[in-house]
Amino acid sequence: MAIYTKEEARRIMEKALSFSTADACEINMNGNESGNIRYARNTVSTSGHRSNQTLVVQSNFGQKSGVATIDEFDDASLKKVVERSEELAKLAPENPEFMPPLGPQAYDDSITYSEATASITPEYRAEVAASSINPAAAKDVTSAGFLNDSSGFSAMLNSNGLFAYNKSTNVNFTVTMRTNDGTGSGWVTRDFNDVSKFDAVEASNVAIDKAIMSREAKAIEPGKYTVILEPAASIGLLQNMFGSINARTADEGRSFMSKEGGGTKLGEKIVDERINVWSDPLHPDVPTPTWNGQGQPLKKMKWIENGVVKNLAYSRYWAKQKGVDPVPFPPNAIMDGGNASLEDLIKSTRKGILVTRLWYIRGVDPQTLLYTGLTRDGTFYIENGRIKHPVKNFRFNESPIIMLNNLEELGQQVRINGNLIPYMKVRDFTFTSLSDAV
């Protein structure tokens, strides 16, 4: 079993630390049990189970670091791995950006672990597959899906007295449903820490309905359209934006957050004033560990407030250079929404496009955060408050900054990839060409 309790992990890491002769030593330990099932063509194709456990030792002599890993935790192995990290450190070049390990920290108790998820069985995974395959087959639809569940722990101990421990579980599910005539395709994704919140039948039916609804799509001219983006559609663009709020690249002049004439956009309004984005490791719908890989405590943090950039992320090294406090990268993104349901947003739309999902998103210009990609698995034309017909997929070229400046309305929030993102209606979203892909 690769999951160790807080006490077991601490005992093993303290034993390893007792062998250290370096100036500083930091030990990370983690273990994970995961299971998966994959299906396609309405039958199971592969399934598997993985168990991993690792102990990583980083030793430092001055600014020289060496890292060694091991997956056995008896005393002889622990001694060996510490010695190896020290040998490597002595041979390593000096790293002028080296930061010494942190001292003891206080962390909140996390809410990332669910016994229900940790207890998933192969039989449960097979049932999930059947929840897609059986209703699909009954409706002349072919399903292809993947369920992955994991349960694990992470722990950290260093020679300056820091100790951290966390246990977490996750379940991720996606399924693609394609009509057997090849003209319709639907998709759904769900992710949770606690599998008891997951309803495989409900999720599979959403994808089946979308597949059937999207049959025989009509081509309409590419151009600028009002769009309703489901959270699964906007998340790809938003995550790329959130991932770029790095103070160092902004200060260096090579980020969309860099300003003309030098400096950064910290404190400036960059998007519509209704946009509020924050991170919170203790949010009950999207919990994360309460500390990061550097041992820094993670707290609720505002990133964009009323459209204004409130914080940029500072690594410990860059914060020291700039004389500010370090700001850890956000572990999740929570974007404030409104009360409108998807149906409400459709009802209030005179002419627009409903987008289920954006796919194959790639950066085009880091200066403007321009991205390209395509709609997929359910794209519909809305006229006078209702879905009129499916449309052929589009290629888009759009920047999340422009998108969030063209905001019309925010709807209810949905958990997506560990984040909480609202449905949103946006005007003038740029579609540049049509795709024949279904």
**Which residue, 274 or 395, has its beta carbon nearer to another protein?**
395
Segment near another protein (CB under 8 A); pick from 12-20, 65-73, 105-113, 319-327: 65-73
Segment near another protein (CB under 8 A); pick from 84-92, 112-120, 198-206, 294-302: 84-92
Rule CB under 8 A: is residue 91 a binding residue for another protein? yes
Inter-CA distances, 279 with 242, 269, 300, 349, Å? 10, 19, 6, 31
Rule CB under 8 A: is residue 47 a binding residue for another protein? yes
Rule CB under 8 A: is residue 51 a binding residue for another protein? no
Pick from 197, 187, 188, 358: nearest CA to 286: 197
Per CB under 8 A, which of residues 366..395 are in contact with another protein? 366-370, 372-374, 376, 393, 395
Rule CB under 8 A: is residue 413 a binding residue for another protein? no
Instruction: Give the 3-state secondary structure percentages of the chain, helix then strand then coil, rounded to 5.
Output: 25, 40, 35
CB of 339 to another protein, least distance (A): 30
**Which residue, 259 or 351, has its beta carbon nearer to another protein?**
259
Per CB under 8 A, which of residues 201..260 are in contact with another protein? 246, 248-249, 252-254, 256, 258-260
Rule CB under 8 A: is residue 99 a binding residue for another protein? no
> What b/e sequence results for 195-220 when a residue is b if at least 16 CB atoms lie within 10 Å of its CB, and e otherwise?
beebebeebbbbbbbbbbbbeebeeb
* Helix/strand/coil for 149: strand
Rule CB under 8 A: is residue 98 a binding residue for another protein? no
Rule CB under 8 A: is residue 348 a binding residue for another protein? no
Pick from 310, 308, 312: nearest CA to 258: 312
Burial class (CB in 10 A: 0-12, 13-18, 19+), 423: buried
Q: Assess contact for 334 and 286: CB atoms under 8 A.
A: yes
* Cα distance between residue 314 and residue 428, in whole Å: 34
Burial class (CB in 10 A: 0-12, 13-18, 19+), 362: exposed
**Which residue, 124 or 359, has its beta carbon nearer to another protein?**
359
* Helix/strand/coil for 264: strand
CB of 102 to another protein, least distance (A): 18
Q: Which of 44, 282, 319, 342 binds another protein (CB under 8 A)?
A: 44
Q: Which helix (H) or strand (E) holds 150?
A: strand 141-158
Rule CB under 8 A: is residue 323 a binding residue for another protein? no
**Which residue, 117 or 142, has its beta carbon nearer to another protein?**
142
**Which residue, 85 or 168, has its beta carbon nearer to another protein?**
85
CB of 84 to another protein, least distance (A): 8
Size of the site for another protein (CB under 8 A): 82
Q: Which of 19, 124, 359, 381 binds another protein (CB under 8 A)?
A: 359
Q: Assess contact for 239 and 417: CB atoms under 8 A.
A: yes
Per CB under 8 A, which of residues 103..122 are in contact with another protein? 122
* Cα distance between residue 329 and residue 169, in whole Å: 21
Q: Which residues contact 11 (CB under 8 A, 6 or more apart)?
A: none
Q: Which of 59, 110, 131, 142 binds another protein (CB under 8 A)?
A: 142
Rule CB under 8 A: is residue 284 a binding residue for another protein? no
At residue 405, what are phi and psi to the nearest 5 degrees? -80, -25
Rule CB under 8 A: is residue 397 a binding residue for another protein? yes
* Cα distance between residue 188 and residue 179, in whole Å: 15
Q: Which of 5, 11, 71, 202 binds another protein (CB under 8 A)?
A: 71
Per CB under 8 A, which of residues 145..204 are in contact with another protein? 145-146, 148, 174-176, 178, 187
**Which residue, 107 or 396, has its beta carbon nearer to another protein?**
396
CB of 360 to another protein, least distance (A): 5
